[in-house]
Structure 1
Amino acid sequence: DIRLLRQIVRTHLNLEMAATDEMVAIALEIKPDYVTLVPEKREEVTTEGGLNITGQIPRIGRFIDQLQGAGIPVSLFIDAEPVQIRASQKLQVKFIELHTGRYAEARDEATRKKELDSLAMGCKQAISVGLRVNAGHGLTYRNVYPVACIPGIEELNIGHSIISQAVLVGMEKAVREMKQAISR
């Protein structure tokens, strides 16, 4: 599928992948426009949190060097924690993607606000150290707008919600509806 996507995607192709030798080899062959390194366990249905890079800087740094050395910018999918942002800066990646899962799963308004504030602070810190910022995970038509309003976030990665809606209304309408939810 990824080989076909590389041929037909007209915007930019972001390959979300685990930090493994096998996946780096595929990325080096396919040459996506950028890659996002994410935590991945075989038994997971979806990503359960941000990549903890602080304890594995040498290992992840090796993959980043290979990819960026081949002209493929790297993003790290991380939680909006100062230590993770500093580690991302140290690794000299181009982007980070802030994990919005805790915000999306918040059960009450106070928790949701706390998580949104954390995302905003993380974004501000990342930009201050020269990182570009994307965000995603668990975003829906109902919760995306406040995240979209965070200054400095360049891209929102939303998949499941759009695809689920597309089953009912078609892809074009589902995307149009998400764009409306983002710009409200």
Structure 2
Amino acid sequence: MPTQLSVNLNKIALIRNSRGRDFPSVVHFAHLALNAGAHGITIHPRPDQRHARYADVAALKAVVDARPGTELNVEGYPDRQFLDVVLAARPQQCTLVPDEPGQLTSDHGWNILRDTEKLKPIVAELKAAGIRVSLFVDADPTQIAAAPATGCDRVELYTEQYAHDHEHGDFAVTFARYAEAAVIATDLGLGVNAGHDLNLDNLADFLVIPDILEVSIGHALTVEALQHGFEATIQRYVSILNNAG
């Protein structure tokens, strides 16, 4: 099965919030993304709700519920408010990220070795509600080796370093590190997702790594959509995914 595309709508929500009304609508753009071939939708509400809002979770879950075979992935730091919103909506996947409350964007994975006991009851609570759980991780074999102890189903590789090195034309060493991390996770029985700064220029090279189940792409996709159109951009991503490997 090809790697699946989950379109992150945070930047659509950011534009919406700048005008104080529901335009552009994240629900409308979710339908556009799925119509264009995306498998799922991702949002990452933060405590200040500066882009995605907690209310968007239920609205977008209704979208995927009406479209069998599609998924909603909700990312965020697992404080009580976030968990209550996720548990009420029951998205297909929840990706836990170690963000500080005021953080501009995600910029590191979990220190699982340190936080295993913190994560275990959170993962268990989400899984008891039928939600698949992924942990945002660096391409660090030691941390990934500790992930199964939390009970998580998947890890999401934080790919900013790969994207940075790819842009500058010297990414072989970095790519090898990500490939090793993916193999370790797969060998441990974990599914592997990836995301952060993947784009139309670097995605195909990344997908030489086998068994990547899902990529979550938002910021770059939104910028590229300003040039190529939203649906056309998603179709380009789907073509890359279908031809990967």
Same fold flag (TM > 0.5): yes
The answer on whether the counterparts of 1:135 and 1:157 sit within 8 Å (CA) in structure 2 is yes
Matched, 1:2 2:57: yes
Matched, 1:145 2:204: yes
Q: How far is the alpha carbon of 1:101 from its aligned partner? A: 0.9
Q: How far is the alpha carbon of 1:179 from its aligned partner? A: 2.5
Question: Structure 1: which amino acid aligns with 2:233?
Answer: A
Question: Structure 2: which amino acid aligns with 1:58?
Answer: E
Q: CA deviation digits over 1:144-181, x for unaligned, max 9?
A: 11111211111111111111222333221010122234
Correspondence 1:110-121 to 2 at 5 A: 110=170, 112-121=171-180
Task: Give the whole-Å Cα distance in 1 for the aligned partners of 2:210 and 2:77.
Answer: 28
Name which of 102, 108, 112 aligns with 1:49. 108
Q: CA deviation digits over 1:50-99, x for unaligned, max 9?
A: 12222111111111011011111100010111111111111121111111
Structure 2: gaps of 5 or more residues: 1-55
Matched, 1:64 2:161: no
Matched, 1:156 2:215: yes
Q: CA deviation digits over 1:9-53, x for unaligned, max 9?
A: 231001111121211111110100010001212322211121222
How large is the RMSD of aligned CA atoms in angstroms?
A: 1.5
Structure 1: gaps of 5 or more residues: none
Task: Give the whole-Å Cα distance in 2 for the aligned partners of 1:5 and 1:132.
Answer: 24
> 1:17: which partner in 2?
76
Relative contact order (alpha carbons < 8 A, sep ≥ 6): 1 or 2 greater? 2
SS at match of 2:71: coil
SS at match of 1:149: coil
Question: Structure 2: which amino acid aligns with 1:7?
Answer: A
Name which of 89, 106, 112 aligns with 1:30. 89
Q: Aligned residues: percent identity? A: 32
> 1:105: which partner in 2?
164
